[in-house]
Amino acid sequence: MDSMQAIIIAIVEGITEFLPISSTGHMIIAERLLGIPSTDFSRTYTVAIQLGAILSVVVLYWKKFIDFRRWQFYLKLLISVIPAIVLGFIFNKKIDALLDSPLTVAITMLAGGVILLFIDSIFGKATIHEEEKISYGKAFIIGIWQCIAMIPGVSRSAASIVGGMQQKLSRSLAAEFSFFLAVPTMIAATGYKLLKDYKNIHVEQIKLLAIGNIVAFVVAVLAIKFFIGFLQKHGFRLFGIYRIVAGIILLILILTGYIK
């Protein structure tokens, strides 16, 4: 992976991290199209640069996120992230194996797209519009929903937002809580990945990780602003259509041998 390839992947990550279309799935496909071989570092890079995108949440929502008087808010995030930490540790090797499977991405893109077509009507009646009214039990259940995104192509934001809506959160509140939940989730995932692989990462690769995180951060700032406004006005249907079309195209590319 060279610097230009790293930047392109980071742009893809920044655009897709907070959209319900799967950032990991898009990065896997982008790597295949760019001819980047699947290596330990490429898998580490795919996980690690998500932290840069996630930190954009802290900057954009710093007044809400950095308020230590709201200790219940931090406790809810801690409770929500527990399922991902536990399951991520247990199934780490299987998750890494799935990162090498474009076919898995294609199938989950299609399935997720169909679900998003109907999600607004299924969970349309929200009763919770403020973060203070999210109970610890609801926070934990949202965290369980988020774990579905360990399968590449599912979309972490979509899984946690759907989980929030299933728990009667409004679309905008579910999206906001999903953004906040991403911070401890990706800190844990990135920290674990780097701790496990740091001995095999050399100086040039550290530079690529730094560049990738910076680019992903900047692009993600713009993507968040777009997504919240679009979601409030239009819901998930267009994202569902996009996922279905992208999944079909990806299947065609796989079946014709263009992507292996």
217, with CB counted inside 10 A (0-12, 13-18, 19+), is buried
Q: Using pLDDT thresholds of 50, 70 and 90, give the confidence band for residue 80.
A: very high
Q: Using pLDDT thresholds of 50, 70 and 90, give the confidence band for residue 103.
A: confident
A 10 A CB-CB count for 258 gives 11
Q: How far apart are CA 108 and CA 256, in angstroms?
A: 19
**Is the predicted pLDDT of residue 92 greater than 90, yes or no?**
no
CA-nearest of 78, 51, 53, 190 to 143 is 78
Tell me the average pLDDT across 37-41: 83
- pLDDT value of residue 155: 85
- pLDDT value of residue 225: 77
pLDDT digits (tens, 9 = 90+) for 119-146: 878 876 888 988 889 999 999 999 999 9
- Could you give the percent of the chain with pLDDT greater than 90? 33
Relative orientation angle of helices 203-234 and 40-48, to the nearest 10 degrees? 40
Predicted model pTM: 0.83
**Is the predicted pLDDT of residue 37 greater than 90, yes or no?**
no
- pLDDT value of residue 124: 66
Please check whether residue 55 is in contact with residue 186, taking contact to mean a CB–CB distance below 8 angstroms: no
CA-nearest of 186, 182, 158, 162 to 243 is 158
Domain boundaries, the chain: 3-255
35, with CB counted inside 10 A (0-12, 13-18, 19+), is exposed
